[in-house]
Amino acid sequence: MVVVLAALLACAMAVAALAAEPSAAPGGLLAGGDPRSEGDGPGLVGSPLAMMLGVMALGLMTALATAALVRLRAR
């Protein structure tokens, strides 16, 4: 019971801290644009196609490993 009350109190304090500033983001935070670019403004950083292929390859490897594990455990 004490743990639940402590968690609720921590959540209430976090909500109060987040609600202290009415704007979505502080003005100075987004004033300079995207810090990862060379001054071109907002845009894609890195190689999105390579990242997408990497995620797909990781998913395929995970699916194959899961299928192999299921087949091994079935024996």
What total of structural domains would you count in the chain? 1
Which domain range does residue 70 map to?
A: 47-75
64 occurs within a structural domain: yes
Domain assignment of residue 72, yes or no: yes
DSSP 8-class letter at 2: H
In a domain, 10, yes or no: no
Q: Is the whole model's pTM more than 0.95, yes or no?
A: no
Residue 63 falls inside a structural domain? yes
CA distance 58 to 51: 10
Within-domain flag for 16:
no
Q: In degrees rounded to 5, what are phi and psi of residue 35?
A: -70, -10
pLDDT per residue, tens digit, the chain (75 aa), is 778 878 877 777 665 555 455 555 555 555 555 555 555 555 666 778 888 999 999 999 999 999 999 999 987
